Amino acid sequence: MGDEIMDSLVVVDCQYDFIEGTLACQKGREAVRYLVEFINTHKVNVFYTGDWHSPTNRSFKINGGIWPVHCVAGSKGAMLNSAFYEDVKEEAKRPKENNFFMKGQDDLVEEYSAFHGKNKEGKELYQVASSHVYVGGLASEYCVKETILAFVKAHHTVTWLLSGTGYVDKDDHEKTIKELREMGIEIIE
Give the pLDDT confidence of 134-150 residue by residue, as tens digits: 999 999 999 999 999 99
pLDDT, residue 4, reads: 60
Q: Give mean pLDDT, residues 51-63.
A: 95
pLDDT, residue 6, reads: 87
**Alpha carbons 19 and 28: distance in angstroms, whole number:** 5
pLDDT, residue 41, reads: 96
pLDDT at 74 over 50: yes
What ranges make up the beta strands (E) of 44-189?
Answer: 44-51, 100-103, 132-137, 157-165, 186-188
Single-letter amino acid code for the residue at 97: E
| 153 class by beta-carbon count within 10 Å (0-12 exposed, 13-18 middle, 19+ buried) | exposed
> How many Cβ atoms are within 10 Å of 110's Cβ, its own excluded?
14
pLDDT at 14 over 90: yes
pLDDT, residue 5, reads: 65
pLDDT at 3 over 80: no
pLDDT, residue 2, reads: 45
pLDDT, residue 28, reads: 97
Q: What angle do CA 76, 161, 115 make, to 5 degrees?
A: 65
pLDDT at 1 over 60: no
Reported as a single tens digit per residue, the pLDDT across 126-184 is 999 999 999 999 999 999 999 999 999 999 999 999 999 999 999 999 999 999 999 99
pLDDT, residue 162, reads: 97
Of all residues in the chain, what percent carry a pLDDT higher than 70?
Answer: 97
